[in-house]
Structure 1
Amino acid sequence: MTLLKVILLAIVQGLAELLPVSSSAHVIVAEKLMGLDPSSPAMTLLLVMLHTGTMFAVIVYFWKQWVKTYFASADAFKRFAIRVIWATILTGVIGEVIKKIIEKTLFHGAPKAELEQLFGRLDLIAPALAAAGVIILIAGLRERNQKAAASSSTSLLSTAGTSVTMKQAGWMGAVQGLALPFRGFSRSGSTISAGMLVGAKKGPAETFSFALAVVLTPAVVGMEALRLLKASHEAAATGAAIDLKASLVSSLLGMVFSFLAGLVALKWLSSWLETGKWWLFGIYCLVASGVVYYLFTAGY
């Protein structure tokens, strides 16, 4: 893969990461249009490394806010850590269960069946985008209605604080588990919306959602690196060796470029997101779902 393609994919990832529109779906569609195979071990590792780059951009962007919210005191950090652990456990359990069910049913016992082989299926990405769009739309319209009601009432309609509760963290972690196996089911969009639907304010839900991503990403990177290493050994045994060094170099370059693109996107989009209407992202995901399905019918 050429350096230009890596840079283009990094830019797509960086622009889409902050928005709840599934950056994975956008990168996979871009790969398809470039004639690449998104389900290959090298490409899934690249996708994860692109996420890693934007994860570091998110850390830089949110760091002061996290320090103020989660590291203000030992008690605040303890409460944050408990909620992250609880949410991550639910993510891992639900994600692994769904992964096993898919591998046992869709592959019908085929040897070496891996969920990642489905990542290039636009016919699966399209409904996942639509499902995320519906959740975002419901949460956004509910938020709009609450704001409208609050403007005509002197009573407080929400008692949510500056952080999420255990219940809210649990729901966000559970929904994140659904996002792991389904490319197109926006992780940030679905988790933030889930938090909003169980009473969290959008700001705390957004902050906690990106914190969950930072915790989850290293484990996913490790899994994909092992998958690439395993595929490399299997390919070498059949005489069709994978250029492991080239794949790793491309992935690391992609991580650097996505970090830079992510920083630019965060700076550019942050002020707009503060006043943006959440439900509009749901509309976007629904429209994107239709576009992706059209590309599938067109043979991509």
Structure 2
Amino acid sequence: MSIFKVILLAIVQGLAELLPVSSSAHVVVAGKLMHLNMSSPQMTLMLVMLHTGTMFAVIVYFWNQWKRTFFSSADAFKRFAIRAIWATLLTGVIGEAINKLIEKTMFKGSSKAEIELLFDRLDLIAPALAAAGVIILIAGLMEKRRMGAHEQVYGDSVTMRQAGWIGAVQGLCLPFRGFSRSGATISTGMLTGASKERAERFSFALAVVLTPAVLGREFLRLVKASHEATAAGVPIDFHGSVVSSLLGAVFSFFAGLVALRWLSSWLEEGRWYLFGIYCLVASVVVFGLYHAGY
């Protein structure tokens, strides 16, 4: 893959990842338009490395906020850690259960059952975008109704109940490209009574916790595919794929910082519902591209 395409995908990923509009859907559509195989091991590793770049953007952008909240004292960190572990546990259990269910039903009788093989299916991405759009729209409209109302809070973190719901919904997001992780989790936090700022902080902290595990999974998948391809006499450019992915991570990092500033300003100004409208419109566009043969 050319450097130009890597940079373009990185910019799309970085700008979309930290907005609640599903970066995966945008990157897959961009890749499809560039005639790339978005379900190949090389490309799924690229996607995860792009996520890694934006993960570092999250750390840089939120670090001062996290120091004032999650790391302000031993007690605050303990509250956050318990909630993060609880949410991540639910994410892993629900996400893995859905993965296995999909692999055993949609790949029944196939010699190769990997959830990643569905990642470039526009006919699956479009309804996932629509589902995310509906959740975001509902959360945004409810937020506007109760603006100015007194909110029940617990310290500087979300409650255990809110963390559980956020983690569970994050698990639902993992297998489906288009079902925006940030959009669904922040909206879930808002719908369960958390302020949008607390939901945003906790959601992106969970992304930092989750990314290394997902990166490891995709790296091992590429290693396995590389060995299989070498045995079959059609070797994969393993080192080239890794270098391209690292380059993409750098560009997605800087694009992610820009997106985070935009996201936070829109959260503060009560425009959350507009992201839901965008996802619904994007769903229609993706359906159109699918029927056009992409």
Counterpart of 1:48 in structure 2 is: 48
Counterpart of 1:2 in structure 2 is: 2
Give the direction of change, closer, same or farther, for the CA distance of 1:166–1:278 in structure 2 (3 Å limit): same
Superposition deviation, residue 66 in structure 1: 0.4
Among candidates 149, 154, 171, match of residue 165 of structure 2: 171
Q: Give the letter for the 1:232 counterpart.
A: S
Counterpart of 1:153 in structure 2 is: none
Give distance in 2, aligned partners of 1:266 and 1:135. 20
Give the conservation status (yes or no) of the 8 Å contact 2:84–2:163. Answer: yes
Q: Deviations over 1:31-63 (max 9, x none)?
A: 000100110000000000001001101100000
Q: Deviations over 1:229-276 (max 9, x none)?
A: 000111111111101011001001101111122223334554344214
Give distance in 2, aligned partners of 1:177 and 1:267. 26
Give distance in 1, aligned partners of 2:264 and 2:188. 21
Q: Give the letter for the 1:284 counterpart.
A: Y
**SS of the residue 2:86 aligns to:** helix
RMSD over aligned CA atoms reads 1.1
TM-score (norm 1): 0.95
Identity of aligned residues (%): 75
Give distance in 1, aligned partners of 2:187 and 2:258. 25
Give the direction of change, closer, same or farther, for the CA distance of 1:276–1:11 in structure 2 (3 Å limit): farther
Structural mapping, 1:1-300, within 5 Å:
1-147=1-147, 150=148, 156-161=149-154, 162-267=156-261, 270-300=264-294
**SS of the residue 2:69 aligns to:** helix
Gaps of 5+ in 2: none
Gaps of 5+ in 1: 151-155
Q: Give the letter for the 2:136 counterpart.
A: I
Give the conservation status (yes or no) of the 8 Å contact 2:79–2:157. Answer: no
Superposition deviation, residue 27 in structure 1: 0.6
The count of corresponding residues between Structure 1 and Structure 2 is: 293
Q: Deviations over 1:48-106 (max 9, x none)?
A: 00010011011000000001000000000001000000000000000000000000001
Give the direction of change, closer, same or farther, for the CA distance of 1:203–1:138 in structure 2 (3 Å limit): same
Superposition deviation, residue 158 in structure 1: 2.3
Q: Which moved more, 1:121-130 or 1:274-283?
A: 274-283
Give distance in 2, aligned partners of 1:50 and 1:130. 24
**SS of the residue 2:10 aligns to:** helix
**SS of the residue 1:70 aligns to:** coil
Give the direction of change, closer, same or farther, for the CA distance of 1:272–1:172 in structure 2 (3 Å limit): closer
Q: Give the letter for the 2:173 counterpart.
A: A
Q: Give the letter for the 1:192 counterpart.
A: I
